[in-house]
Amino acid sequence: MTRIAIFGVGLIGGSLALSFKGKPGLQVVGHSNNPGSIEKYLKREVVDYATTSLEEAALDADFIFLCVPVGKLEEYLHRLAKLPLKPGCIITDVGSTKASVASCAAALQFSGAHFIGGHPMAGKEKSGVEAASSRLFENAFYVLTPDPSTPEAAYDRLAELLQHTRAHLVKVDPVLHDEIVGAISHLPHIIAVALVNQIARYNESNELYQILAAGGFRDITRIASSDPIIWRDILLNNKGVVLQLLKDWNKEIAGFIRLIEQEDGPGIEREFQRAGAFRNGLPERRKGVIHSFYEIYVDVPDHPGVIGQITTQLGSHRVNLSNIQIIESREDVPGVLRLSFREEADMDKALELLKKDYAVHV
Ligand SMILES: NC(=O)c1ccc[n+]([C@@H]2O[C@H](COP(=O)([O-])OP(=O)(O)OC[C@H]3O[C@@H](n4cnc5c(N)ncnc54)[C@H](O)[C@@H]3O)[C@@H](O)[C@H]2O)c1
Ligand SMILES: O=C(O)C(=O)C[C@]1(C(=O)O)C=C[C@@H](O)C=C1
């Protein structure tokens, strides 16, 4: 039996536990300092066994996943380095930053165990085991940062186990990881939070700000609801990278101020064209990072019954729709429906059927 110990069974730890639990030959053990959490893990059937004892969880483990906030990772590594771990045990983490944990692990001696840093590039703005899902990592990228001294066999064993997540593994140097993920994840979280707080201040004098906030504001600010402790730790840990990114951000905004002050219409158009070209080139069909499903967008006329027509048409061709959402609906103006599918084949079939009658975008 391969024993997998998960320290911190929250959104990410719980989702990993659900990817492994019930698979032949795997046993999942959850650890928390809090006895109340242990009961919750067991009640929700996320793990096979749970304990508040670090030793009990770690000593027999073949794999140890550290899924606690970034600010706690080094403490766990130091505690594990003091234990007689099972020979060949693989310790990994899921922290959103990789350089500091990699250098901490490299400076420690684990008795017969190997550390390989990890970061699944998938998540949600929700936290806790309640938000965990066995499908969270499906088709997402999962970064691993093995040290040059990591035996290939250890990397291969971890890679094989992670096949259960159905994520795509990618090896990245830890310092490069922090630079890139700082730009595509940490900076956007700061911008979302700053934007929401700016609008919240205006809203104090007029509640219409909140009432009128529509698709644009919601789309760019979803991640502003992310967990404060998790993000405090990430931003402080990646301080150097994040500060440089914020300086560059100030330059971008200063550029926009100039374009608007100078009423430079073509300049503004160029900014949107450049951004649209890059954004449209993002791999839309990839699940996990922001899109949890295969999605298409359908422009629909604003008349009663149109949603019924579409669902009936898809149903009669046995296309399984997992969700439908009206993302814009105003009187006399066409609306946009977001249709989500769990399977790519269903999305392709829906595209083929609906494009005969509607404008459909992927
Ligand atoms: N949220 C995301 O989108 C996301 C994505 C990828 C990686 N990560 C990383 O995954 C890790 C976990 O994040 P999450 O989103 O699952 O958060 P979470 O809050 O859902 O889970 C954190 C877990 O750590 C435990 N924990 C919290 N403080 C602790 C402490 N002081 N000591 C011991 N245990 C503690 C909590 O009980 C919980 O089980 C973080 O390192 C984060 O950077 C998060
Ligand atoms: O989709 C989200 O809500 C996320 O915040 C996921 C996200 C990201 O920024 O893309 C957040 C943190 C991670 O470390 C990895 C992924």
Say if residues 105 and 36 touch (Cβ distance below 8 Å): no
- Of the three residues 172, 197, 225, the one that is the final residue of a domain is 172
Note whether residue 269 is domain-resident.
Answer: no
Q: 84 in a domain, yes or no?
A: yes
Rounded distance between C-alpha atoms, residue 235 and residue 232, angstroms? 6
Q: What is the pLDDT of residue 334?
A: 61
Q: Is the CB of 234 under 6 A from ligand 1?
A: yes
pLDDT at site 16:
98
Question: Is residue 198 domain-shared with residue 156, that is, in the same domain?
Answer: no
Q: What is the pLDDT of residue 33?
A: 95
Is any ligand 1 atom within 6 A of the Cβ of residue 69? yes
The string of DSSP letters for 281-323 reads TS-TT--SSS-SSEEEEEEE-S-TTHHHHHHHHHHHTT----E
Record the pTM. 0.83
- One domain, residues 164 and 239: no
* CATH number for 218: 1.10.3660.10
Residue 152 tokens read as 């290939």
Same domain? 50 vs 150: yes
Q: Which atom of ligand 1 is nearest to the CA of 96?
A: 43
Residues 16 and 158 reside in one and the same domain:
yes
Whether 7 is covered by a domain: the verdict is: yes
> 203: domain range?
176-261
Same domain, 139 and 196: no
Report the atom number in ligand 2 closest to the C-alpha of 96: 14
Instruction: Please count the structural domains in the chain.
Output: 3
Q: Is residue 69 part of a domain?
A: yes
Q: Whose CA is nearest to atom 9 of ligand 2?
A: 185
Is residue 281 situated within a structural domain?
Answer: no
Q: Could you tell me if 82 and 167 lie in one domain?
A: yes
Is there a domain that residue 180 lies in?
yes
Task: Give me the tens of pLDDT residue by residue for the chain, a chain 362 residues long.
Answer: 999 999 999 999 999 999 999 999 999 999 999 999 999 999 999 999 999 999 999 999 999 999 999 999 999 999 999 999 999 999 999 999 999 999 999 999 998 899 999 999 999 999 999 999 999 999 999 999 999 999 999 999 999 999 999 999 999 999 999 999 999 999 999 999 999 999 999 999 999 999 999 889 999 999 999 999 999 999 999 999 999 999 999 999 999 999 999 999 999 999 999 999 999 988 754 444 444 568 888 888 877 788 889 999 999 999 999 888 776 544 445 677 888 888 888 999 999 999 988 888 87
**Residue 172 · residue 55 · CB < 8 Å:** no
CATH of the domain at 56: 3.40.50.720
Residue 278, in any domain of the structure: no
Boundary-marking domain end, from 172, 203, 230: 172
Give distance in angstroms: CA of 126 to centre of ligand 1: 11
Q: Are residues 191 and 156 in the same domain?
A: no
Quote the longest CA-to-CA distance of the chain. 70
* Angle, alpha carbons 244-71-220 (nearest 5°): 55
Q: Are residues 101 and 212 in the same domain?
A: no
The answer to whether residues 47 and 107 belong to one domain is yes
Residue nearest to atom 8 of ligand 2 (CA): 185
Determine, yes or no, domain membership for 87. yes
The SS3 assignment for 324 reads strand
Q: How far does the centroid of ligand 1 lie from the alpha carbon of residue 220, in Å?
A: 23
| pLDDT confidence of residue 61 | 98
Predicted pLDDT of residue 255: 98
Query: Same domain, yes or no, for 211 and 301?
Result: no
Look at residues 172, 192, 207 and tell me which one is the last residue of a structural domain: 172
Q: Would you state the pLDDT for residue 328?
A: 56
Instruction: Indicate if 27 and 146 belong to the same structural domain.
Output: yes
Give the nearest ligand 2 atom to 184 CA. 9
CATH number of the domain enclosing 299: 3.30.2130.10
Question: What is the rounded distance in angstroms from the CA atom of residue 114 to the CA atom of residue 338?
Answer: 45
User: Are 298 and 163 contained in the same domain?
Assistant: no
